[in-house]
Amino acid sequence: MHSSLTEHARCLYGDEYRPTPPCDLEHRESYFVEELTFADPDSILAMLRELSPHLVDGRLPVWIRNLSYRLVLLQRPDEPALMREAAENLWLHGPDWDHIAADLTRAADALGTG
Domain ranges, residue 83: 77-114
pLDDT at residue number 66: 95
Residues 25 and 49 in one domain: yes
Secondary structure, 3-state, the chain = CCCCHHHHHHHHHCCCCCCCCCCCCCCCHHHHHHHHHCCCHHHHHHHHHHHCCCCCCCCCCHHHHHHHHHHHHHHCCCCHHHHHHHHHHHHHCCCCCHHHHHHHHHHHHHHCCC
Q: Taking the model in full, what pTM does it have?
A: 0.91
10-residue mean pLDDT profile of the chain (114 residues): values are 91 89 86 96 97 89 95 96 95 89 96 75
pLDDT at position 64: 96
Domains in the chain, number: 2
Is the domain of 6 the same as that of 30? Answer: yes
The predicted pLDDT at position 114 comes to: 56
Residues 15 and 59 both lie in one domain: yes
- Same domain? 42 vs 97: no
Same domain for 51 and 92? no
